Amino acid sequence: MKREDLIKKWLDNNLNPEELEAFKKLEDYNELIKIDTALQYFKADGFDSNIELEKLNTTLKQKRKQKNTWLKPILRIAAIIAICVGFYFYNYNLDTNINTQIAQKENLNLPDNSQVKLNAVSTIAYNKSDWKTERQLALNGEAYFKVSKGEKFTVNTTSGSVTVLGTEFNIKNRDNIFEVTCYEGSVKVISDKHSQILKPGDRFLILNGNYIENTTVSEKSPYWINNESAFKSMPYSQVIAEFERQYNVSINVTNVNTNELFTGSFGHDNIDIALKAIALPLNLTYTKNSNKISLKRE
């Protein structure tokens, strides 16, 4: 096997016993081991053996070209520092991604101590290195924000952006719905065709591609952060989708118009009570088998 192939398989921890013995017989085996040992704490998650093979070959060629033995330790240290610095800046500039799974919520603090509560099946992404100069993040799903005072704070979604200076608000960006609710201060919402300044109690809502005007709320914070999902004149399909996210179940409906509007709520801590809460108001019956639920109108 060629030298380069042996080194690549070694970088991938994929040498069989025979190949390992051949690898140990390489003339620069000791140098390879020393460099790998020095860098073992600096390998990023996205470790690419082809890139690392190229770096090692370059480093080793430089070492072989040196005629003065006193240069070898300096070159060795310089190579290690260069790779370490590269890994540091690579990791430093990566976006921070935080996501929640089905039936999971997450509380977190951003670099400026702004607080975020992330609902189930949601993701935010932001760059720590740019945060002091640009407070900006991306959201997919639903989150409640309590923003620290400071420079402009922007949340970008696939449906539009929300900009504030310091306030409390909730954003829901899921299939067929883009909803922003202001609870304190004011926020500016910009979507493809509409923009609006929201004051406390105001809600911006685009449902199934349609902008819904003059919607307001009376609660002081979103229900879901207290483990309850509430709906006011929302399509039943939205209720089913949220139920599936909170309880990790699959719901099948029979003879049910999922476009029918629903007003009501369900809790996140008792599935049997929650099922009654979404079925009885519409005169539906239900059956539950493990994580599969059937809703039916007789």
Q: Are strands 115-118 and 106-109 parallel, antiparallel or unpaired?
A: antiparallel
Question: Tell me, what's the pLDDT at 20?
Answer: 75
Residue with tokens 């996210």, as numbered in its chain: 245
Q: Which residues pair with 182 in a beta bridge?
A: 169
Which residues of the chain are modeled with pLDDT < 50?
41-45, 67-68, 70, 85-94
Q: How far apart are CA 232 and CA 186, in angstroms?
A: 23
- Looking at residue 264, what is its pLDDT? 96
Tokens (6 digits) for 93: 């500039």
Q: Which of 217, 208, 253, 290 shows the shortest CA–CA distance to 278?
A: 253
pLDDT of residue 25: 77
Helices 236-247 and 271-279: angle between axes, nearest 10 degrees = 180
SS3 185: coil
Helix (H) or strand (E) holding 279: helix 271-279
Buried b (16+ CB within 10 A) or exposed e, 230-257: bbeebbbbbbbbbbbbbbebebebeebe
Phi and psi at residue 13, to the nearest 5°: 55, 45
Distance from C-alpha of 7 to C-alpha of 25, rounded to nearest angstrom: 12
pTM of the predicted model as reported, rounded to 2 decimal places: 0.68
| Per-residue pLDDT reduced to its tens digit, 59-92 | 656 555 554 454 555 555 555 555 554 444 444 4
Residue 59 token pair: 């480093």
Q: What is residue 92's predicted lDDT score, i.e. its pLDDT?
A: 43
Task: Return contacts of 50-58, CB within 8 angstroms, 24+ apart.
Answer: 50/8, 52/11, 53/4, 53/7, 53/8, 53/11, 55/83, 56/7, 56/11, 56/32, 57/4, 57/7
Query: In order of start, what are the domains of the chain with their CATH numbers?
Result: 3-92 (no CATH), 107-223 (2.60.120.1440), 228-296 (3.55.50.30)
Q: Encode pLDDT of 115-161 as tens digits.
A: 999 999 999 999 988 898 899 999 999 999 999 999 899 999 999 99
How far is C-alpha 5 from the geometric centre of its chain's CA atoms?
Answer: 36
pLDDT score recorded for residue 129: 87
- Backbone dihedral angles phi then psi of residue 185, each to the nearest 5 degrees: 75, -140
Pick from 235, 239, 204: nearest CA to 223: 239
